[in-house]
Amino acid sequence: MLKDEVRTKSYRDSIYQNGHLFKDKVVLDVGCGTSILSMFAVKAGAKHVIGVDMSTIIEKAKEIVELNGMSDKITLLQGKMEEVVLPYDKVDIIISEWMGYFLLYESMLDTVLYARDKYLVKDGLIFPDKATIFAAGIEDGDYKEEKIGFWDNVWGFDYTPLKQTAMTEPLVDTVDLKAVVTDPSPIVTLDLYTCTTADLAFRVPYKLKARRSDFVHAIIAWFDIEFSACHKPIRFSTGPHTKYTHWKQTVFYLRDVLTVEEGEEIVGELENKPSEKNHRDLDITISYKLNTDDMHRQASGTGMYKMC
Amino acid sequence: MLKDEVRTKSYRDSIYQNGHLFKDKVVLDVGCGTSILSMFAVKAGAKHVIGVDMSTIIEKAKEIVELNGMSDKITLLQGKMEEVVLPYDKVDIIISEWMGYFLLYESMLDTVLYARDKYLVKDGLIFPDKATIFAAGIEDGDYKEEKIGFWDNVWGFDYTPLKQTAMTEPLVDTVDLKAVVTDPSPIVTLDLYTCTTADLAFRVPYKLKARRSDFVHAIIAWFDIEFSACHKPIRFSTGPHTKYTHWKQTVFYLRDVLTVEEGEEIVGELENKPSEKNHRDLDITISYKLNTDDMHRQASGTGMYKMC
């Protein structure tokens, strides 16, 4: 968190620029870590901040809060959100940095929603309050060959059983903007005021329009985050068109190489759900079909991926 | 393993170039993973290879061995070395890729030694059979400031409690050869035919002679591996003077910055032992003293580090 400039600066700006929202308010920091957001909130004028984290990092957070003279303003609690006893029945604002890779992998969003339902006053605020997953198609021939083709001949042996495994593992990596072949397309938006844990499993159609004639080896996903309660809304993106964040992008290789012409569309559905075996893993299914009249280029299929 | 050229090539060469040693022998591959070393041994003429691994990767290994037509030559067993039942009472050769960061962090060496004592015939061979840890002093001002100094002011707050934590965590990273200020010095050598688990905890003196006048911010460690049973001995190093390996080097920052003149020596002791709390963690203590008559540059201290 601390070393990710884009992320921490967005949180800082959204809090510091909105002192009028934080002034004299009770704030809950879900998954507070070293308490950086809690300290931002105190500086912005909060009456009191409660930071909750399961990790032993809370001991370091206490030292840091003490050193920075905020011990009377920040209460730090180690434990599960569902189990800790807060010094207030209700809070005015929830702040949290809960996002994982592909937004939802190992994310703390369910904990934030729990805290919202139990503690947030009516008309209370959530920072951030909106998250949108986007997708696009990319040309990635060289890297796909390196990552996937590698298994065809490993030191003289046939390792294709691991090729199948490699295909099902989405890759978290930075994608060069030049590799993006299609327009980006929003897949799903989560409104943190209204969404429920059920909304974290979804199956949605998508449509990706080719910007140029090229090959498409993979579909990538990323997310944008919005603090819309701010006087002047603050957003940041984790897409390939903007500054590096530690979330990078998530790459899903397709079995087929799609040969697309400018203006053609790749259509399909993207399904995401927590794995039945392990609720922290994600099962992601992406179907794809290239809409073209050219029968030599027609292609469709379905990829099943597991983030674990 | 598979994508680390230096490592896998060294194992492959040491096995392929020594068919006379492997011919008709029973071989045990400790921690076989995807079974690459087992397949090397079969190609080199082994009568039979037993591969043992705790991980479910063994299921993939079975598919791979089958695909490569070696199912009758390789027996793959999932489980702990201490618990599996081998199809042979004794083996002629043990092969294993057991090394971890700093050689011993999360290493499987104790398992290899167990297998040696229980299964290796008298005069049996071990591939590899020798490992030496080296140390050197480096100039690393910029990076130390970035890694350690960072905590002095984090987004406007005093985070020095995390500075202490950062100092105790050795950094696994690639070190530029130009940063190396002293001669390298061997710290400890493990002979796999004779060493015992007790030898994995050690406290040894070291002496690092400055090659040039410069500053020393850290002591780094790496290791060399030798297959001395080979007809023509094969070695590889994980030091800063040679090709990249995934082990990189391990960097221990010193509290002091040592201002050394060419020819002067940094002397001290390096102690390594498994952590009492968690046997898989390492507690490493490095004392250091700059031997100089210049009282303005005299410096000494002790750093305590934890690899976990």
Give the model's pLDDT for residue A279: 83
Q: So where are chain A's domains?
A: 5-97, 131-307
A163 lies within 8 A of chain B by CB:
no
Question: Residues A5, A59, A66, A106: which is the catalytic one?
Answer: A106
Q: What is the dihedral of CA A49, A50, A55, A60, to 10 degrees?
A: 50
Mean pLDDT for chain A?
A: 96
Is A39 within 8 Å of B2 when comparing Cβ atoms? no
| pLDDT at res. A278 | 86
Express each pLDDT in B152-191 by its tens digit. Answer: 999 999 999 999 899 999 999 999 999 999 999 999 999 9
Residues sharing a CB contact under 8 Å with residue B168, sequence separation 6 or more, in sequence order: B303, B304, B305, B306
pLDDT in tens, B7-30: 999 999 999 999 999 999 999 999
Q: What is the pLDDT of residue B273?
A: 96
The average pLDDT across B96-119 equals 97
What's the rounded mean pLDDT across residues A106-127? 97
For residue B64, give how far its alpha carbon lies from the nearest alpha carbon of chain A (Å).
6
Q: Which of residues 4-63 of A touch B (CB under 8 A)?
A: 8, 12, 34, 36, 39-40, 43, 60, 63
* Residue in A with minimal Cα distance to B62: A161
Percent of chain A with pLDDT over 90: 96
Nearest CA-CA distance, residue B85 and chain A, Å: 26
Give the model's pLDDT for residue A254: 96
Q: Which candidate from A67, A68, A155 shows the least CB-CB separation from B36?
A: A155
> What class, spelled out in words, does domain A5-97 have in CATH?
alpha beta
pLDDT at A280 over 90: no
* A68, A150, A162 ranked by CB distance to B157: nearest: A68
* pLDDT at B1 (0 to 100): 76
Mean pLDDT within A269-296: 94
pLDDT at A133 over 90: yes
- The CATH class, in words, for A131-307 is mainly beta
Chain A interface includes B158 (CB < 8 A): yes
- Is the pLDDT confidence value at A221 over 90? yes
Q: Look up residue A103 and give its DSSP letter.
A: B
Residue B196: is it exposed, middle or buried by C-beta count within 10 angstroms (0-12/13-18/19+)?
exposed
Segments in B44-175 forming alpha helices (H): 57-67, 109-119, 141-147, 160-168
Residue A39: list chain B partners with CB under 8 A: 157
Is residue A97 annotated as a catalytic residue, yes or no?
A: yes
The ipTM value here is: 0.91
Cα of B22 to nearest chain A Cα, Å = 19
Mention every residue, 6+ apart, whose C-beta is less than 8 A from residue A282: A102, A104, A105, A272, A273, A274, A275, A306, A307, A308
Residue A1 pLDDT greater than 90, yes or no = no
Active site residue B97: yes
Q: Which residues pair with A252 in a beta bridge?
A: A219
For the ranges A104-108, A115-119, A144-148, B240-244, which has the lowest average pLDDT?
Answer: A144-148
pLDDT of residue B2: 86
Strands A74-78 and A48-53: parallel
A10–chain B nearest CA distance, Å: 12
Q: Does the pLDDT value for residue A200 go beyond 80?
A: yes
| Rounded Cα–Cα distance for residues B147 and B163 (Å) | 9
d(CA B65, CA B208): 47
| Band (A25; pLDDT cuts 50, 70, 90) | very high
